[in-house]
Amino acid sequence: MALLDELEVLRTAALNDFGAAHAPELLEQARVEYLGRSGKLKVLMARIREEPPAGKKQAGQRLNAVKAELERIWEERKLALAAAVRAAAPLFDPSLPGLTQDRGSLHPLTQAMDNFTGIFERLGFTIRYGPEIEDVFHNFDALNMPDDHPVRDQADTFVLDSRSILRSQTSTVQIRVMEEHVREYGGGADMPPIRIVSPGRTYRPDAVDATHHYSFSQIEGLAVDKKVAFSDLKGFLALFARETFGPDTATRFRPSFFPFTEPSAELDISCVFCRGGGCRVCKQGGWVEIGGCGMVDPNVFRAVGIDGELFTGFAFGFGIERLAMFMLGIDDIRRFTENDLRFLGQF
């Protein structure tokens, strides 16, 4: 048969097959058969060489025209089939992954805080909160830091107005709780004991770096009773350290000074990273400091109206970020406030 006649037969067959293909796979089969790299159209095209010179041009034009037409029809058919497939798909596809409900989690600082307060609650302490905007009396005066105390310098505290500051320590809550207690029971022989911990934010205009922030959290503790001794303080805090950092955590009390405690101590624990062997975190010393503590100063009892002849007490204050960094292995205090979900999602 002449080339052009064969081409017309092929064209009719191809159009038939494209039209009859009622699924994308069948249409693809037909495309390969007619338009594929070694398909029927290619075979005819190769035969142009055999045409007499006079017919070559005409044969070439017709072949190209048929090829373009078939490609166009095939494309239309493909789109129509895809649309039909989409239309026929069920609205609910049980094979698709389900819609998951993202679960939030508590901020690592909140987790650490809950952990610490939980330990003290089990030891009979009550959780009490105090205001972050404080007055000078509760932040300084009542804590035996008189007017001329260097820490009262404006450069060391956020001053809001002549009467209000942002609290620079949670020790303010000791004062508020003792005042309330004395209002209710009086500060004399009939006063029931006090055992509280107070977690919360504190503020100091410090330059921010990996271990300092202008806003950080503390947990304050206070126990007042007849015959509370320094050995009680040591016992409670050693237990706290073991509960938080593991049963073989050692504690060390170094003599120190705080205006509101006498005697005062700094509490160290054996380094949680090297277990006392010496590393970068403990600067090879084997110990890390976690906070201050001591026996309530008689001047503090006087300021709130508790009889310091009948009662004694211990107090302590720890930085929560610092404890949480040790506990969770976090290397930079700024992580807590950057709100980076890649960080927060790990806890």
Could you tell me the smallest distance in angstroms from the CB atom of residue 157 to ligand DAH?
Answer: 12
Residue-by-residue DSSP string for 276-342 = TS--TTTTTSSEEEEEEEEEEPHHHHHHHT--TTT-EEEEEEEEHHHHHHHHHT---TTHHHH--HH
Residue nearest to ligand DAH (CB): 317
Could you tell me the smallest distance in angstroms from the CB atom of residue 289 to ligand DAH?
Answer: 11
Q: Is residue 191 within 8 Å of 306, Cβ to Cβ?
A: yes
Which stretch of DSSP H or E encloses residue 251?
A: strand 251-258
Q: Is residue 249 within 8 Å of 256, Cβ to Cβ?
A: no
Could you tell me the smallest distance in angstroms from the CB atom of residue 267 to ligand DAH?
Answer: 9
Question: Is 236 or 316 the residue whose CB approaches ligand DAH more closely?
Answer: 316
Question: Is 144 or 270 the residue whose CB approaches ligand DAH more closely?
Answer: 144
Could you tell me the smallest distance in angstroms from the CB atom of residue 334 to ligand DAH?
Answer: 20
Question: Is 41 or 293 the residue whose CB approaches ligand DAH more closely?
Answer: 293
Helices (H), the chain: 3-20, 24-35, 40-46, 53-88, 108-122, 136-139, 171-185, 230-245, 298-304, 320-328, 335-338, 341-344
Question: Is 81 or 134 the residue whose CB approaches ligand DAH more closely?
Answer: 134
Q: Is residue 247 within 8 Å of 266, Cβ to Cβ?
A: no
Buried/exposed code over 264-303 (b: 16+ C-beta within 10 A; e: otherwise): bbbbbbbbbebebeebebbeeebbbbbbbbbbbbebbbeb
Contact positions vs ligand DAH (CB under 6 A):
169, 171, 220, 258, 261, 291-294, 315-317
Question: Is 249 or 261 the residue whose CB approaches ligand DAH more closely?
Answer: 261
Question: Is 56 or 152 the residue whose CB approaches ligand DAH more closely?
Answer: 152
Q: Is residue 314 within 8 Å of 196, Cβ to Cβ?
A: no
Could you tell me the smallest distance in angstroms from the CB atom of residue 103 to ligand DAH?
Answer: 36
Q: Is residue 127 within 8 Å of 121, Cβ to Cβ?
A: yes
Per-residue CA distances from 22 to 36, 51, 80, 318 (Å): 19, 37, 10, 75
Could you tell me the smallest distance in angstroms from the CB atom of residue 314 to ligand DAH?
Answer: 7
- How far apart CA 45 and CA 56 sit, in angstroms, is 11
Question: Is 197 or 282 the residue whose CB approaches ligand DAH more closely?
Answer: 197
Could you tell me the smallest distance in angstroms from the CB atom of residue 175 to ligand DAH?
Answer: 11
Query: Which residue type occupies 248?
Result: D
Beta strands 133-135 and 215-225: pairing type? unpaired
Question: Is 168 or 270 the residue whose CB approaches ligand DAH more closely?
Answer: 168
Could you tell me the smallest distance in angstroms from the CB atom of residue 258 to ligand DAH?
Answer: 4
Phi/psi of residue 292, nearest 5 degrees: -110, 160
Could you tell me the smallest distance in angstroms from the CB atom of residue 278 to ligand DAH?
Answer: 26
Question: Is 240 or 258 the residue whose CB approaches ligand DAH more closely?
Answer: 258
